[in-house]
């Protein structure tokens, strides 16, 4: 008898589950990742935090000290009519010359014997008096009052020269320090990534333009944060020293300064990053960033030396690199029409787009080229 044996086929070996390759981050996610890296790197830097804190303290101290120094100055010559003497809250810090009527007071102001005159005025509620000056009311006199009394100018000359100069320095130095500090930081960061070859790893995961966008956005956020804090310090400082009138005059110009600075800084940041990509050593950064540094420094010196020159300020307000300083200054002085900031902003936006496109091309064509400095013509050709 024969037996029949059946053989079964061996069971197939279990297959390991396929591990899916993680999907690449979206363009927006990649840009934000780079921006977060830039922000966290700066916030972990003790040098950056200390320099920022010093900047804020110096800004607040300068405002408070300037106000207190002005309040402590004495001897401002003023003429006061006999019927207004009893209306003054205090004559401390004033050299009072009593006159019989308004005509005599105006004559002393016109002759330059007094800086201002105080005359009774029943319509000027709740003060009961009006200040008369020739071109501008003396700052020391205005600081004597908790509220700003009505002022009549015999020969109006715009704003007070001291305040005009002070505001020009404020806009100029904030733009200079913020743009140069963060701009040079961007350039140094690009060169550092080239030296350490980190950029080769980054470029293998994301595009060069994505890396550039993240750097610009991250540093723009930090720069705008500094501008907003400085604006808050200006508000607090002017409130402390009782300069509510000046604070009211600076409200709109400060807002426009923030808007113009935002797009102006993006323009400069793209150029600084492109300049940094053209070299491979930290020692060579100055050779490519020097022209951009001049563009940052020029508005500072122009607004200080020509703050009383309406022609220069008008030109500055339409040139993209100086518009963040020139246009807010003209708005403060009341020399700009309502439509001028809009036209200047359109010009700045168009220039900003062009600078980003050119900067991105230079950045992309130079980023992986090591060794000698990349010539501008080669960087543009690719």
The domain total for the chain is 2
Judge whether 155 lies within some domain: no
Positive or negative torsion for Cα 225, 226, 231, 233: positive
- Helix (H) or strand (E) holding 133, with range, is strand 129-133
Residue 88: left if φ>0, alpha if ψ -120 to 50, beta else—which one?
beta
Residue 117 lies in a domain: yes
Residues in contact with 325: Cβ distance below 8 Å, sequence separation at least 6, in sequence order: 171, 172, 175, 257, 299, 300, 302, 303, 316
Coil, strand or helix at 78: strand
Contact 316, 230 (CB under 8 A): no
- The position carrying tokens 């300037």 is 66
Mean pLDDT taken over the chain: 83
Q: What is the mean pLDDT of residues 27-37?
A: 90
Same structural domain for residues 325 and 373? yes
pLDDT in tens, 155-171: 665 556 777 888 888 89
- Helical pair 198-205 and 161-195, crossing angle rounded to 10 deg: 90
Whether residue 319 is predicted with pLDDT greater than 90 in this model: the reply is yes
Greater confidence (136 vs 116) lies with 116
Sheet with 76-81: strands ordered across? 94-99, 76-81, 116-120, 129-133, 151-153
**Which residues form the domain of 89?**
77-142
Secondary structure letter of residue 57 according to DSSP: H
Q: For the domain that residue 129 is a member of, what is the CATH number?
A: 3.40.190.10
Residue 2 lies in a domain: no
Report which of 142, 143, 98, 135 is spatially closest to residue 120, judged by C-alpha positions: 98
- Whether the predicted pLDDT of 368 surpasses 90: no
Q: What's the average model confidence in pLDDT over 78-89?
A: 82
pLDDT mean over 260-284: 93
Asked, for residue 72, whether it belongs to a domain, the answer is no
Q: What is the pLDDT of residue 219?
A: 93
Strand partners, 118: 80, 131
User: Is residue 24, in this structure, part of any structural domain at all?
Assistant: no
Do 243 and 375 sit in the same domain of this protein?
yes
Q: List phi, psi (to 5°) of 265.
A: -70, -40
3-state secondary structure of 159: coil
Report angle CA 128, 133, 139 to the nearest 5 degrees.
90
Say what the pLDDT of residue 129 is.
Answer: 86
231 and 311 assigned to the same domain:
yes
Task: Report how far residue 355's alpha carbon sits from residue 262's, in angstroms, rounded to the nearest whole number.
Answer: 14
Q: Tokens 């220039």, residue?
A: 351
In a shared domain, residues 300 and 237 = yes
Query: Is residue 59 located within the same domain as residue 111?
Result: no
Is residue 142 predicted with pLDDT exceeding 80? no
């Amino acid at each position: 008898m024969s037996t029949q044996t059946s053989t079964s086929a061996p069971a197939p070996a279990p297959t390991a589950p396929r591990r899916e390759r993680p999907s690449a981050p979206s363009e927006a996610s990649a840009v934000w990742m780079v921006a977060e890296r830039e922000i966290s790197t700066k916030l972990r830097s003790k040098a950056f935090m200390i320099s920022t804190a010093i900047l804020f303290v110096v800004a607040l101290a300068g405002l408070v000290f300037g106000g207190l120094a002005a309040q402590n100055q004495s001897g401002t010559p003023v003429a006061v009519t006999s019927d207004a003497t009893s209306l003054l809250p205090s004559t401390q810090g004033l050299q009072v010359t009593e006159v019989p009527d308004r005509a005599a007071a105006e004559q002393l102001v016109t002759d330059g014997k007094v800086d201002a005159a105080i005359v009774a005025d029943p319509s000027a509620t709740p003060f009961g008096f009006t200040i008369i000056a020739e071109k501008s009311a003396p700052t020391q006199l205005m600081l004597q009052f908790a509220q700003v009394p009505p002022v009549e100018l015999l020969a109006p000359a715009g704003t007070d020269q001291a305040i005009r100069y002070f505001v020009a320095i404020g806009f100029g130095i904030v733009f200079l320090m913020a743009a140069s500090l963060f701009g040079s930081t961007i350039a140094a960061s690009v060169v550092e990534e080239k030296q350490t070859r980190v950029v080769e790893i980054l470029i293998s995961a994301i595009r060069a333009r994505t890396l550039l966008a993240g750097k610009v956005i991250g540093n723009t956020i930090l720069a705008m944060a500094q501008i907003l804090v400085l604006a808050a310090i200006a508000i607090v400082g002017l409130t402390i020293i009782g300069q509510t009138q000046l604070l009211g005059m600076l409200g709109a110009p400060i807002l426009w300064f923030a808007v113009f600075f935002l797009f102006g800084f993006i323009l400069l940041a793209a150029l600084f990053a492109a300049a940094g990509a053209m070299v491979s050593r930290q020692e060579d950064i100055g050779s490519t960033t020097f022209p951009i540094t001049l563009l940052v420094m020029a508005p500072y010196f122009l607004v200080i030396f020509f703050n009383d020159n309406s022609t220069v300020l008008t030109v500055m307000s339409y040139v993209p690199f100086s518009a963040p300083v020139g246009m807010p200054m003209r708005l403060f002085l009341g020399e700009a029409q309502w439509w001028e900031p809009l036209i200047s902003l359109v010009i700045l936006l168009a220039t900003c787009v062009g600078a980003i496109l050119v900067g991105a091309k230079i950045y992309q064509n130079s980023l992986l080229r090591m060794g000698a400095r990349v010539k501008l013509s080669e960087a543009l050709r690719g």
